[in-house]
């Protein structure tokens, strides 16, 4: 296992275990298969992974409790334990610590190695920053309830700069993979954070698993390379190439994935990609993007929909079913993970969205296409 220094207190395994996709029972996200999940977490800690990341809402608020059980019997001492404050639930300053105390209780520990303000965006920041979230972080550091203060973010680079400039952070977590270099917080953020002395943790290096099983038409681009490598390894290798990325979080769902990724992690080095390899990643990205059927940029100008339809989310699933040649997989997500009231067939054809769309997308027609493609029978 390779390790990278976060700060004077912590050196993290380059691969971290994200506890948001643990084994579950009968497809129920909120019902973790306790035996298998504990086995996975302990196997990770016994085999070089020391960064264990969870959060208040994961697995319908059951992940932290499970992680707490897994870290008994001496395993807490092996872990850099990380969780996140559910800032969207905070209504008053006292709530910050109330939720932290609840999390410490679930995790059966007196302190957290790294504590993040979770999933920041501008709207949330404008609520919690005046409420005193930074003062809260200072107080918890002084009390010893947390050892390092951090944040995770789902917003653009301009907002990232605003947040990172606001405090002496120990870490920032961003969503990044070779497909998302221009989405949300961009690659620029990794360098900006480095200049500020703030290490980066990367989440979604496999884009929610989409980069793990690429169609042969895409892997063929790489297969011209005599050093044939698996899509998962290529995705992790891309993320690890940045020297300011100190840990790459993977939400592994079974022991086979965990063992495979541990094997890959032993080979991850910063600055290892050649110019030719970087061009291949760009070619793969361009090829996948060329398959987009509806040019939605997720700007959300069409939202909120009067009928409650999540228009950008429906278009993302529809487009990805073509990009990754996976109609059945995206249909399963549409039918089992997208709430009924958000689905495309709930469009009432009121037309309020279409004048707002900068891309001039015929959204009403598009919603019909989405539902037709993603409502096929699934196994």
What is the tens place of the pLDDT at every residue in 62-92? 999 999 999 999 999 999 999 999 999 999 9
Percent of the chain at pLDDT > 90 equals 90
Question: What pLDDT score was predicted for residue 145?
Answer: 98
pLDDT band at 42 (very low <50, low <70, confident <90, very high): very high
pLDDT band at 227 (very low <50, low <70, confident <90, very high): low
Nearest CA-CA partner of 169 in 192, 143, 203: 192
Q: What is the mean pLDDT of residues 133-148?
A: 98
What string of DSSP letters covers 174-206?
A: EE--TT-TTSSS-HHHHHHHHHHT--EEEE-TT
Asked whether the bond before 42 is cis by omega within 30 degrees of 0, the reply is no
Instruction: Please name the residue that has the structure tokens 């990609």.
Output: 273
CA 64 to chain CA mean position, Å: 17
Token duo for residue 215: 């169609």
* Residue 171 to residue 187: CA distance in whole angstroms: 16
Nearest CA-CA partner of 65 in 39, 104, 96, 26: 104
10 Å Cβ neighbour count for 306? 10
What is the tens place of the pLDDT at every residue in 247-292? 999 999 999 999 999 999 999 999 999 999 999 999 999 999 999 9
Helix (H, G, I), strand (E, B) or coil at 114: strand
- The helix (H) or strand (E) run that includes residue 376 is none
What is the tens place of the pLDDT at every residue in 307-318? 999 999 999 999
Nearest CA-CA partner of 87 in 12, 158, 163, 16: 163
Nearest CA-CA partner of 234 in 246, 225, 243, 245: 225
pLDDT at 226 over 70: no
What phi and psi values does residue 319 have, to the nearest 5 degrees? Answer: -65, -40
Name the burial class of residue 146, with classes exposed (0-12), middle (13-18) and buried (19+) by CB atoms within 10 angstroms of its CB: buried
pLDDT band at 210 (very low <50, low <70, confident <90, very high): confident
Q: What is the mean pLDDT of residues 176-198?
A: 93
* Residue 305: DSSP 8-state: P
Angle at 324 between CA 323 and CA 330, to 5 degrees: 100
Q: What is the mean pLDDT of residues 210-238?
A: 88
- Measured between alpha carbons, how far apart are the two ends of the chain, in Å? 38
| Cβ 140 vs Cβ 99: under 8 Å | no
| Cβ 64 vs Cβ 56: under 8 Å | yes
Q: What is the mean pLDDT of residues 196-218?
A: 92
pLDDT at 26 over 90: no
pLDDT at 305 over 80: yes
What is the tens place of the pLDDT at every residue in 98-125? 999 999 999 999 999 999 999 999 999 9
Question: What pLDDT score was predicted for residue 225?
Answer: 67
Question: What pLDDT score was predicted for residue 228?
Answer: 74
Domain ranges in the chain? 3-282, 311-374
Query: Considering the chain, what is the average pLDDT of its residues?
Result: 95
- The helix (H) or strand (E) run that includes residue 107 is helix 93-107
> Which residue(s) pair with 153 in the sheet?
120, 174
* Residue 303: DSSP 8-state: P
Could you confirm whether domain 3-282 is CATH 3.20.20.100? Answer: yes
Question: What pLDDT score was predicted for residue 105?
Answer: 98
What string of DSSP letters covers 252-301?
A: --SHHHHHHHHHHHTT--TT---HHHHHHHHHHHHHHHTT-SS------T
């Amino acid at each position: 296992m390779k390790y990278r220094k976060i700060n004077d207190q912590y050196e993290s395994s380059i691969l971290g275990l994200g506890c948001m996709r643990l084994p579950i029972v009968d497809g129920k996200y909120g019902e973790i298969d306790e035996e298998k999940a504990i086995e996975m977490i302990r196997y990770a800690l016994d085999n070089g992974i020391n960064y264990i990341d969870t959060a208040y809402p994961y697995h319908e608020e059951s992940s932290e409790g499970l992680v707490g059980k897994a870290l008994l019997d001496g395993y807490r001492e092996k872990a850099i334990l990380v969780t996140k404050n559910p800032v969207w639930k905070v209504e008053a300053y006292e709530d910050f610590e109330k939720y932290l105390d609840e999390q410490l209780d679930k995790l059966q520990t007196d302190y957290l190695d790294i504590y993040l303000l979770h999933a920041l965006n501008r709207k949330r920041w404008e609520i919690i920053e005046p409420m005193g979230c930074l003062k809260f972080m200072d107080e918890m550091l002084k009390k010893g309830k947390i050892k390092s203060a951090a944040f995770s973010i789902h917003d653009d680079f301009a907002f990232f700069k605003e947040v990172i400039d606001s405090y002496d952070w120990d870490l920032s977590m961003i969503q990044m993979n070779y497909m998302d270099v221009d989405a949300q917080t961009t690659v620029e953020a990794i360098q900006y954070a480095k200049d500020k002395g703030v290490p980066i943790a990367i989440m979604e290096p496999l884009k929610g698993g989409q980069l793990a099983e690429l169609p042969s038409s895409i892997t063929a681009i790489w297969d011209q390379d005599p050093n044939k490598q698996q899509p998962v390894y290529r995705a992790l290798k891309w993320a690890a190439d940045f020297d300011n990325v100190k840990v790459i979080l993977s939400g592994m769902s079974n022991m086979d994935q965990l063992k495979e990724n541990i094997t890959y992690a032993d080979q991850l080095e910063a600055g290892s990609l050649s110019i030719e390899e970087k061009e291949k990643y760009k070619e793969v990205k361009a090829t996948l993007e060329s398959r987009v059927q509806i040019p939605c940029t997720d700007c959300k100008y069409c939202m909120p929909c009067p009928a409650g339809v999540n228009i950008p989310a429906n278009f993302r699933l529809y487009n990805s079913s073509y990009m990754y040649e996976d109609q059945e997989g995206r249909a399963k997500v549409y039918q089992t993970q997208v709430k009924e009231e958000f689905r495309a067939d709930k469009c009432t054809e009121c037309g309020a969205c279409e004048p707002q769309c900068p891309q001039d997308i015929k959204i009403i027609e598009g919603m019909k296409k989405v539902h037709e493609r993603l409502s096929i029978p699934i196994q």
